[in-house]
Amino acid sequence: MDKRLASTFFVLLLAAFFASCSQGVKLEPKYQDFTQRYGLLMNKTEEEYFKMLETAGERDDFIREFWESRDPNLTTPTLNEFKEEVDQRILYAERNYREMGRPGYRTERGRMMILLGPPDSVNRESVTNNPEMWGIEVWNYPIWDIALIFTDRTGNNVYRFVSATRVQDAGLIREKQESLQEMPMDPRIFQIIDKAKEGLLGEMRGMENQKFPRPELTLSENKVVVKLRFSDISWVIKEGEGYRCDLLLKAFLRSGKAEAAKVTEVPVQWNVTADELRGEGRSVEIPLEIQPGNLFLTVVVVDKTSGAKARKIIVRKQ
C-alpha cells in the first residue's frame, strides 16, 4: 500500500470511528445525551451491549459501571477524576470548536480534545498557494511523540483530521501543503485512542517504561479466572526473603436480567521466592464465581505499587 492510500485508509477508519459514536437505537433524551457526549469513549463491546439493553434501569446501571470502571482513584468514592476531566474537556470543546452550528464536542477537533486532552502546543498556518486548502492546524503531544494535523478545506473554519505523525516530522507540513494526503499516518494514534477510551491514557504520562498488568480472562460455566503474568506486575522485596505484589481487582458483573450489577473488590497480595519470580510463564490466577447464562463482566486491575491500571471486558450470550 503506498503512502497516499495508507493515509486515506486510516482517515476513513477514523471517520468511521467518529460516525459509530452517534449511531444507535432510539433512546430517551438523557440516554441520547450520554451517547452523544460520551459514546466515543465506549469500546466496541460496550457499544454493542448498550444497544441490547431494554430498560431504563439497565441503562442507568450500565452508565454507573461505565464511569466506576474508569475511575483512576478508587480511594475517592465520591469523586471520579476521569469523568471530571472529560466534562472539562467537553466544556472547552463547546467553547472553542463549534463549527457551522455543530456542537463543539461533535466536531473532529472537539472529539480529539475529549479523547486526548489539550495539546502541549498548537501551530496554525494559513495556506496561500493551494485553492483547496485554507488553513492547517497542528496539535503537538510530545509526551507520546504524536502530532495531529487538521485542515480547513472550505475557508469556513471547519477543520478535518487528515493525519497523525511524530512531533519531529510535523514541521514538514509546510512542505506538504500541496500534497498533505501523501503524508503517512502513524498507526500509533489508534493505540493511543484505545487507551484514551479505557480511561488509561493519563496514567501513561511519565510512565512510558512502567509495567502494566495485562489481565487474561478465562470463562467457564460457573467461574471466570483472571490471569496476570508475573512479568507484568510490580514486585517489591519483602522482609526476609522473596518478593510481594500488591494488587486490587474490582469486578462489575451483570448476569441475566438483573437490574443492578454485582460489584466485587478482591485485594491480592502474592508472595513468591526469587526462583519463582524468575520462572518462565509464571502467573497469578484469581477466580471469580459466576452464575450460568448471559453475563457482562468488566474487570479492573490496579497495581497498587506502581499505580498502573488495566481494564478487560468479557461477554457471554446464551
Q: Provide the Cα torsion 56, 290, 48, 317; round to 10°.
A: -110
pLDDT the model gives residue 273: 87
Domain interval for residue 271:
210-316
Q: Is 205 inside any structural domain?
A: no
Instruction: For residues 297 and 46, give the distance between their C-alpha atoms in angstroms, rounded to a whole number.
Output: 11
Residues 276 and 186 in one domain: no
Q: How far apart are CA 210 and CA 232, in angstroms?
A: 9
* Residue 250, C-alpha cell as written in the block: 474490582
CB-based contact 262:253 (threshold 8 Å): yes
Shared domain check, 186 and 260: no
In a domain? residue 55: yes
What integer is the mean pLDDT of 180-209? 70
What is the pLDDT at residue 22? Answer: 47
Q: At residue 110, does pLDDT exceed 80? A: yes
Model's pTM, two decimal places? 0.74
Cell of 145: 511523540
Percent of the chain residues topping a pLDDT of 90: 22
- Are both 224 and 268 inside the same structural domain? yes
Are 107 and 153 within one domain? Answer: yes
Question: Is residue 109 in some structural domain?
Answer: yes
Q: Assess whether 271 and 158 both reside in one domain.
A: no
pLDDT at 316 over 60: yes
Q: Reply yes or no on whether the pLDDT at 132 is more than 90.
A: no
In a domain, 200, yes or no: no
Same-domain pairing of 225 and 108: no
Looking at the predicted structure, is the pLDDT value of residue 290 above 70?
Answer: yes
Neighbours of 176 (CB within 10 A): 17
CA distance 105 to 131: 28
Task: Give the model confidence (pLDDT) of 236-280 as tens digits.
Answer: 988 777 899 999 888 888 776 555 678 888 898 888 888 888 877
Is pLDDT of 297 > 60?
yes
Measured distance CA(76)–CA(88) in Å, rounded = 19
Sign of the CA dihedral with 188 first, then 193, 198, and 203 last: positive
For residues 135 and 223, membership in a common domain is answered with no
In this prediction, residue 129 carries a pLDDT of 67
187 and 221, same domain (yes or no)? no
pLDDT digits (tens, 9 = 90+) for 32-72: 999 999 999 998 888 888 888 888 888 888 898 888 888 87
Cβ partners under 8 Å of residue 30, min gap 6: none
- The structural domain count of the chain equals 2
Q: What is the CATH number of the domain that holds 266?
A: 2.60.40.10
Boundary of a domain, candidates 194, 226, 253: 194
Which amino acid type is present at position 146? I
Answer whether residue 204 is part of any domain.
no
pLDDT at 284: 85
Q: Which of 145, 168, 194 is the last residue of a domain?
A: 194
Mean pLDDT in residue range 104-108? 93
Domain stop point among 194, 222, 237? 194
User: Same domain, yes or no, for 103 and 177?
Assistant: yes
The answer on 255 and 188 residing in a single domain is no
Q: Residue for cell digits 461477554? A: 315
- 203: in domain: no
Three-state DSSP string of 182-227: HCCCCCHHHHHHHHHHCCCCHHHCCCCCCCCCCCEEEECCCEEEEE
Copy the grid coordinates of residue 80: 471520579
DSSP string, the chain: --HHHHHHHHHHHHHHHHHHTT--S---HHHHHHHHHHGGG--HHHHHHHHH--SHHHHHHHHHHHHHTT-S-TT-TT--HHHHHHHHHHHHHHHH--BTTB-GGGSHHHHHHHHH---SEEEEEE-SS-TT--EEEEEEETTTTEEEEEEESSSSS-EEEEEEE-HHHHGGGGGSTTSGGGSPP-THHHHHHHHHHTT-SGGGTT-TT------EEEE-SSEEEEEEEGGGS--EEPSSSSEEEEEEEEEEEEETT-SS-EEEEEEEEEEE-HHHHHSTT-EEEEEEE--SS-EEEEEEEEETTT--EEEEEEEE--
Any domain includes 240: yes
Answer whether residue 201 is part of any domain: no
Instruction: Give the angle 189-190-191 at the CA atoms, nearest 5°.
Output: 90
Q: Same domain for 14 and 113?
A: yes
Same domain for 65 and 144: yes
Residue 2: per-residue pLDDT: 46
